[in-house]
Homo-oligomer: A and B are copies of this chain.
Amino acid sequence: MSFDDTVTIAVDAMGGDHAPGVVLEGVASALEKDEKLQVILVGPAEVVEPFASSHARCVAQPATEVIAMDEHPAQAVRKKKDSSIVVGCRAVKEGRAQGFFSAGSTGACLAGATLGIGRIKGVQRPALCSVIPSPVAPVVMTDIGANADCKPEYLVQFARMAAIYAEKIVGIESPRIALLNIGEEDTKGSQFAQQTFELMKEGVPGFVGNAEGNDIINARYDVIVTDGFTGNVTLKTIEGTSKALFSALKEVMTSSLKAKVGGLALKKDLKELKDSINADTYGGAPLLGVAGVCLVGHGSSNATAIMNGVLASAEMVRKDVAGLISEAVGK
């Protein structure tokens, strides 16, 4: 670790539904906000070169290919060696950047980072982690989709990695860690959950027991640990439920003149509530356990979300999250 806090993040200029427009805008804002930030902007020469030449602390890294959202992640990463995701991860592997950020295909980023950057020694499986959009307090959940099939011992590592992220990045001191299960009692759940419970009890400092589905968004625990299948379904269920309720609420507020008046009076407060459960605050989902920083933003990211993602990537580098994970989990 150096005392110089200059950080270089490789950014996928082609990641996300509104790339490259919002990515360039977001990178510009991030460079403005963080004067010790350097960006390697990865993408087609005609996109990245004009931007780099007009922005200080930004270097263009041409990449001729792009991995689309609907491509098979692992196959695309293997085939498209000159794609922005593969080239961005390579910059981290070669030490030219300390972190990689993309709002592109989550699967391709996972495959790109796992193959391209590589795992921290001793980490069995990297895990995707997210801060749950809760109106009460931030809740960290992992794995949210990197590993559809898990062994109980993976979850012990997921828990320890997520605890570091919760503490260093989300700012939760001594996080209370729970296993997502279908009952509170120690003996509840599937065979997998029961075995994991026993391992976590032994091997995870801060482990407090089982959480149920209705314990997540009310922030009863700080870190929710589960396999990538359950985690992905759960996270998307939360997002879908919030979205459906806000949309039903909007309908209610335009259903009559009286309701419209009421809605108008509440508009600002409701906007604030909606923002408070906006997942973009933390800039994206980190892939914990790779030998460097890799953060994946929402495909629907706007410029602010991209800026947050780039800044969050830099923060993860500065806080040395990967190093701390290596100490805690690695061998």
Contacts and interface: CB of A to CB of B under 8 A. Distances in A.
Interface string A221-251: 0000010111011111111111111101100
Q: How would you classify the secondary structure of chain A's contact residues: helix, strand, loop or mixed?
A: helix
Given A213-B236, A235-B213, A244-B135, A189 B256 contact: no
A35 to B, nearest CB: 37
A176 B253 CA distance: 31
A152 interface: no
A52 to B, nearest CB: 35
Contacts of A272: 252
A254 to B, nearest CB: 10
A214 interface: yes
A169 interface: no
A278 interface: no
A189 B229 contact: yes
A255 B269 contact: yes
Contacts of A217: 237, 240-241, 244
A244 B255 CA distance: 24
Question: Nearest 7 CB-CB pairs, A to B?
Answer: A262-B265, A213-B236, A214-B240, A213-B237, A135-B248, A148-B190, A262-B266
